[in-house]
Amino acid sequence: MGGAMWRFTNRTEAGRELATMLHGFRNRSDVVVLGLPRGGVPVAFEVAKALRTPLDVFTVRKLGAPENQEYALGAIASGGATAVDWSLVERLRVSDAVLGAMIADERAELERREHLYRGDRGPLNVAGKTLIVVDDGLATGSTMRAAIAALRTLEPARIVVAVPIASREAAASLRREADALLCACLPVDLTSVGQWYEDFTQTTDAEVLELLRRAVAWTPARQSAETAEGAWYA
């Protein structure tokens, strides 16, 4: 799929398209779909709905370049994981002081979102699970790279990265770090993820919370019992 003028209509369509590539994971009790907030959650919602698997979030914050916030210098994730593209930092001449301030600001926002999205549910408990980690696209791959590093510490059985769109460079890099990568579109030239969507409106906190609430509708009954024992899902 691809072409110079081709676009996804929005994240919902992108998620439905991506779900068709993941049908082998449908109705598997060992699978969890994780959306990277905020833009990855609408995509992940469609994937989880199609596969009839639980949906949750894993909070990651991109460290946007000073002159282009969509272009990532790196990212931070829940659990303290940090991924920085030091060659890009050097090329753009971003000082240690500026980078340190960026990390501190994004850490504060990450903690705010973590509290908002997870409430009192506690940290993820995904040991032994197959994780399908979803975002709305990969430009440099730094955000997903930080997510993978943090998720590895939780000892999942397998990490599968699934995205609608990715640069070829990011896809090649992440195939070495994830156990598998599935992507609906790998264009020859990708300068920003947003250029491949007709509607790339920013996803809000309220939309993330609503999608998480709606996802409970297809959570298998067996998980209700596990919730009472302190499992990660609502």
Per-residue pLDDT tens digits for 35-74: 999 999 999 999 999 999 999 999 988 888 887 776 778 8
Domains, the chain, ordered by start: 11-59+124-218 (3.40.50.2020)
DSSP state of 129: P
* Residue 138 structure tokens: 């990969």
Residue-level pLDDT at 232: 34
Checking if the pLDDT of 181 tops 80, the result is yes
H/E stretch holding 56: strand 55-57
**pLDDT at position 228:** 33
| CB proximity list for 226: less than 8 A, separation 6 or greater | 233
182 three-state secondary structure: strand
Q: What is the DSSP letter of 198?
A: S
**Residue 24 reports pLDDT greater than 50:** yes
The sign one gets for the Cα dihedral 31, 55, 121, 156 is: positive
Model pLDDT for residues 203-231, shown as the tens digit of each residue: 999 999 999 999 988 875 434 334 333 33
Q: Is there a contact between 139 and 170 (Cβ–Cβ < 8 Å)?
A: yes
pTM of the model: 0.82
Q: What's the rounded Cα separation, in Å, for the pair 111 and 150?
A: 15
